Chains A and B, each alone.
Chain A
Amino acid sequence: MNSLKLTQKPPGNVFTGSKGINLDSKGEKYLWSMGGALIIGLIMIAAFLLLILVNGLKTFYPGPVHRVTLTDNKVIAGEPFRREKISQDQTLETSRKDTCSARRTLYKTGNFDLYNKDFRWVDEQDIKQISEPKDIFYIERTEWGPFIGYIHELNLNHETFSFSWERLSQLKKEHKAAQARRNILEDLKKKEMGSINHELDNLRLSLKRVELDHGKDSARYKTTLDSFSAKRKKLEENYSEIADKIEILIKKDAEYSVVLKDISGIEKRVNISDIIRFYPANNLTLSQKAGIYISRWIEFLTAEPREANIEGGVMPAIFGTFAMTLLMVIIVAPLGVMASLFLKEYAKQGKLVSMVRVCVNNLAGVPSIVYGAFGLGFFAYCVGTTVDRIFFPEYLPNPVYGTGGILWAALTLALLTLPVVIVATEEALAAVPQSLREGSLACGASKWQTIKNIVLPNALPGIMTGLILAMARGAGEVAPLMLVGVVKLAPELPVDTIFPFIHPERSFMHLGFHIFDVGFQSRNAEAGKPMVFVTTLLLISLIGLMNAFAIHIRSRMKKKYSAGQ
């Protein structure tokens, strides 16, 4: 209708009142719908970030524990987790049509070993009374999730005391000692026994290698076999020594235990060494709460996951994400820079190069899962099996490089981000003024000298921006990793103290996959949710940080050039 107006008469002027006011010409309604669209976009991102931020930050804060007496005189205890309005269908289902504004609360009741569930919905109209008893403890354990209830008795070194507040400090002391014992135990189990197992494996494999190379009847095989049996005997002795030590420690652990009682009086004995953290949930000062909050964060960032990843820390995942991204950048940086140098500085600028450029641009839009499939088919199955056949015949039929691993994952993501890096680097190279090149060449520098000393240093911020953006994208990609080596629980890190220290064939954990795994494959989605939120917060802040850094570099570069030109 506006086009009609435009062709038939000049658009109505708003300011002259002579012909009246035509509000259509201002299109205020359309302006508002455009603005509304923008606002919806902004609200989406704000709400999303707020959701992640609030849920991620509040997860580790110790909340109060309620003792809830229900109308049928049953008593439950739990941390209030979430409240929600019951929608209409749900009220219809429970045949309570009258209460449109009914609410219900999700209580984290813990004690999975006793109740077979962690969470319980309680309708608010079923609640008779809520209290916050001071002596309820929230006890985090290595197994079965948290325990919520009272501490009834202490069994310390064959002596039994019933628990009272005076005993708390004693319990804390014992807890520290028990934790120290647990650390020693873990060390023994993991490091010492692990290294013995590893050596045994190595011996067996080198024996097999000799067998494959020289045959079973060769003299070399016989000598190797002899030394193998001798070494194995020694290792086995060591092993049983350590096993004895472990047994002693475990026995000692069993002498220090507490008897816990849940809200309905069911007793449960727990070794003190199996307790990670305990606190009287309703009897904490603010500083104590902050202490627990910080200690949980520290555990999250530095410890290994427990209980099918839904508790404990994500250190291996952080490490895996970091190592994989770093490896990817190390691979992608020289390749990307080389390709774009070729395209921009060396290749003849013609139809072919612009076609290649269009192709490279397009590859940036090819779905990541396609790269994943390529990585699995080409790197792991094609290249990997060949490497195995040539270098690791003694491992067969178990694959070494012939399956997903951190190297293949990094290579796949390097391919995935290569177009991004090429495009960014080319732009950075194009942004270097031609006059600089000409000046350098005119001074007699060779082409390579010009590139090395003039072009690259000037384009560096742009290249860095591209690399950091590539890193941010690489760190957030999960789909291709699912095909090329990410696992829910990696027993060993890709870098450790066992020779040759770096193990690029190992599978690894990844923050993004951790989110997928905990959110979708754990026994209880509700119990996993807080963990997912915290992991998400971590991942998003990591990526946000990288992006912010890239933007910062970009803006600095812009300033530099606008000043220079």
Chain B
Amino acid sequence: MEKNITSSPQSATPGRKKTTSRFVILADRLADRIITIGGILVIFVVLGIMVFLVKETYPLFVGGIETDTHNYSVTRPDSEILTMGLDDNKTMACILLKNGLVKIFHAKTGMPLCPPILSFKDKISSFGGSIDQNHIAFGFADGTVRTAQVEFESQVIALENLPQNLKKLDKRDSTDGLSVFSQIPGNQYRKVTFKIITQDPVKVSPSDNAIIALDYRVGGETEKRIQVFAAADKDQNIILSKIKSRVNLLTGKRRATVKTISLPKLPDNLKVHSVLLTEKADMAFVADKDGTVYRFNAHNFKSPFLAETTRLLSSDNQLTIIGFLAGEQSLVVGGTDSSLDIYFLTHNDTGKTLDGKSLVKARSYNIGRSPAIEFTPVQRGKSFAVARKNGEASVIHATSEKTLLDFSIGENIKSAGIALTPRVDGFLTICDNGNVILKEFLAPHPEITFSTLFKKVWYEGYPGPTYTWQSSAGSDDYEPKLSLIPLIFGSVKAAFYSLLFAVPIAILGAIYTSEFLGVKTKNIVKPTMELMASIPSVVLGFIAALILAPLVETWIAAVLVAFVVVPVFLVIGSLLWQLLPQHIALQLDGTPKIMLMALTVVAALFATENFGHLFEQLFFSGNFKAWVNHDIGDGRGLLFLMAMPFSMTFTSLFMSVYLRNFLAGLTSGFTQVQAAIFDIVKLLFIAIIASFISFGIAWIADTLGFDARNGILGSYVQRNTLVVGFAMGFAVIPIIYTIAEDALTAVPNHLRAASLGCGATPWQTAIWIIMPTAASGIFSAIMIGMGRAVGETMIVVMAAGNTPLLDWNIFNGLRALSATIAVELPEAVKEGTLYRVLFLAGLVLFAITFVINTIAELVRLKYRKQTAML
């Protein structure tokens, strides 16, 4: 310090240097820069959280991005295309033709490769196969069927084992004529070879008629295989055929038994478009060319029956495409009227069908506005590709209706066949003129759109559109259901019920502390309440879930009666207090009064245990849990209780407005004690009148069919919102209490003095002068408490049961946004869909709390200005 003074320019001491030392200037500038840059940086980093969250979630909402297009010609197909295939890495494509030829070529350049040769004696008349196209079947004109196994075999080989004399195809790939070798990271090569293994023919049509439509499914293990066909022959006979084959473990020979049955005869004018089988072969669909679908239930293979006949197209239209999506619960149907719809097979017992299921239209797609002529589903997931008559082609995700790829092959150029890669990142189409287009695209999150996250979505197997959160399940065909609505609802529900409990306690407590407590008592009470805030939420969660939840479950009636008994006891306490002569009351004011109140509350809590049973008998038919579960009783008891506060208020208001003069006349000249007794009588009178009114209301409401058990109450679950609300109270009460108390204390004292000086009682001052002045501060306290309640994590993780439901039942659990993030994020695949959706959940939580806190903060700042002016 001294040095600074002496070296400062203002120093008046003669003979000293009057320049500032360079070091000081340097240090000053350095500090200036560091603090400015550092400070700005820190603030940016903190604000950067939001930017990062947005960055992590943004890819969810991006559609497919086209990355590359390959355009070339191959020899024009000289026969109808049965099916096409494209391997996982977009290296090789294959085409099966109706004339029995197979063509394979390099997918990116069109360079033809040496195809395997199939030797079929007869003419192929139909074709069918599983969704993944690994198991296919050909139907022949002589009524036989041959199955085949198709595979793009992929092998990783080291550089050393790479064959010599390969022909270069492009930067990555080369070929030896049969297989394609692609370079992959780590000095290795991937060898892709197309393989097809055909089996011997099986006779399916009993009358050796040509098979005109066919579907084929394989089940069971390799040793015990079950192959099922559904076929339609020339005479419109529908045949179901099952081959059970078993490998003898000793000889290694396969023995097969064939069972064939004819399905019930369909109308004569039937023109079969296609036949479809479900995966377990328990259902067969026959589609007529006019859009009529006949559904056979083959659950019992020996006696299949026609379960449903329905027309999926409007009249005068012809069916263009029909097929299953992976999972085989959705049927994609396209007609000549350009419609493209998805039908679900839902459990829907309308009595119209014989097995309680029916086909229901779930979605329609109207893009392109031209009839779809080619259709292919993806092997896993719910995406599919269609090519339209006018030359447009698109890849769509069925559930989210997100367009992953949309382009035009060329004006009115017809596609002859299309193929999709299993990973939904490549689309190949071959046109009539031999032109081939391979589109490479990226669609990392096809199943997510704004609608699937925030609107009702109709999922397979559900009776209708719902908000569902179900991020994982055991089976492979499972489609994750990621609606954020149940989670947001859970957070809001938890916050709402905990505030319902916490706000009265915190605000009333704050008013009493600020206006009616002495300084000394206040200095003990306030820090004690604030102590509550420092309890870690994990402890609250543990106590709530493992100690409180079982306790509340056992003593639910007593817990509920406490909400009635405690206020009643307090009112009784106040009535008795009024009986005290003035001078004694004045002497006991302050700490002794608080002690008396404490005693009253404790007495009330003790009383609840005994009242619980009586209460249950009176209002809940003797057993609360059974009552709430709709097992016994009616809703009248609860309706009565709910109507009681309103009718009490109404009656006392009525009395004070219309009977005020009468009562004033009656009480004139009363002493304190007499007035107190009169007050008791008055209250009793009000209570009796109110009971009658409430009973009337309850009776009427019950007759009209109101029952609270369908709304805020319902069946009881151990880890429920009541427990969460109570535990959350510990977290929220101290926050609201502290801020509200500060706001009340900040009201300038001269207002109090003026009010009291005018003759108002402390109560009147508090309620009519202090409260309105501090109202905005109190509001901001509640908002901040709400922000905390919405984001609280450990309590809801541990005590809320984590069931994503959408109901207000206080006795049911919930699943909050925060809990979902905490539970699911550690297991979510990095940068996967669930990972990003959980980050979106975080962003939503961030946004909610940020908005709530900003409102609170702005109100608080305004309030501060206001009080400063007073």
A residues sitting closer than 8 Å to B (CB atoms) are 1-4, 6, 10-11, 13-15, 17, 19-45, 48, 51-52, 87-90, 92, 335-336, 338-343, 345-347, 356, 358-363, 365-374, 376-378, 381, 415, 418-419, 443-449, 451-453, 472, 475-479, 482-483, 512-513, 515-516, 519-520, 525, 529, 532, 536, 539-540, 543-544, 547, 551
Contacts and interface: CB of A to CB of B under 8 A. Distances in A.
Given A41-B506, A358-B858, A478-B794, A31 B574 contact: yes
Contacts of A419: 46
A111 to B, nearest CB: 24
B672 A363 contact: no
A89 B528 CA distance: 37
Contacts of A368: 791, 793
The 10 closest A-B pairs by CB, nearest first: A342-B39, A444-B8, A367-B791, A476-B536, A27-B763, A37-B508, A479-B793, A38-B509, A448-B31, A32-B574
B20 interface: yes
A343 B821 CA distance: 33
Interface in B178-235: none
Contacts of B9: 444
Contact of B793 (A20, A87, A369): A369
B527 A551 contact: yes
Nearest to A526: B546
Nearest to A482: B822
A536 B539 contact: yes
Interface string B1-40: 1001101111100000000100011011011101110111
Interface of B: 1, 4-5, 7-11, 20, 24-25, 27-28, 30-32, 34-36, 38-40, 42-43, 45-47, 49, 52-53, 56, 504-509, 511-513, 516, 525, 527-529, 531-532, 534-539, 541-543, 545-547, 554-555, 566-567, 570-571, 573-575, 577-578, 582, 593-594, 597-598, 600-602, 605, 613, 623, 625, 652-653, 656-657, 664, 667-672, 675-676, 679, 729-730, 733, 737, 758-761, 763-764, 767-768, 784, 787-788, 790-794, 797-798, 818, 821-822, 825-826, 830, 838-839, 842, 845-846, 849-850, 852-854, 857-858, 861
Contacts of A525: 546
A362 B850 contact: yes
Contacts of B623: 88-89, 92
Contact of B602 (A14, A43, A359, A483): A43
A366 B846 contact: yes
B785 to A, nearest CB: 10
A447 B4 CA distance: 12
B42 A338 contact: yes
A360 B613 contact: no
A4 B845 CA distance: 44
Contacts of A373: 53, 821, 825, 838-839, 842
Nearest to B42: A339
A426 to B, nearest CB: 11
30 contacts: A1-B653, A13-B759, A17-B671, A20-B668, A23-B578, A29-B575, A32-B600, A35-B512, A36-B570, A38-B525, A41-B505, A41-B506, A41-B737, A90-B554, A342-B36, A342-B38, A345-B35, A347-B39, A360-B43, A361-B857, A368-B793, A374-B49, A415-B49, A418-B42, A476-B537, A478-B536, A516-B542, A516-B797, A540-B536, A543-B536
Nearest to B30: A448
Contact of A36 (B536, B577, B578, B601): B601
Given A19-B668, A21-B667, A370 B8 contact: no
A365 B784 contact: yes
Contacts of B24: 446, 449
Contacts of A475: 536
A362 to B, nearest CB: 4
A25 B791 contact: no
A362 B798 contact: no
Nearest to B511: A34
A346 B49 contact: no
Contacts of A367: 790-793, 818, 845-846, 849
A327 B849 CA distance: 28
A30 B767 contact: yes
B545 A37 contact: no
Contacts of A358: 854, 857-858, 861
Given A51-B543, A446-B28, A476-B534, A33 B850 contact: no
A369 B383 CA distance: 34
A367 to B, nearest CB: 2
Given A21-B667, A369-B845, A377-B56, A44 B730 contact: yes
Contact of A10 (B32, B574, B759, B787): B759
B822 A483 contact: yes
A342 B40 contact: yes
Contact of A539 (B45, B539, B767, B768): B539
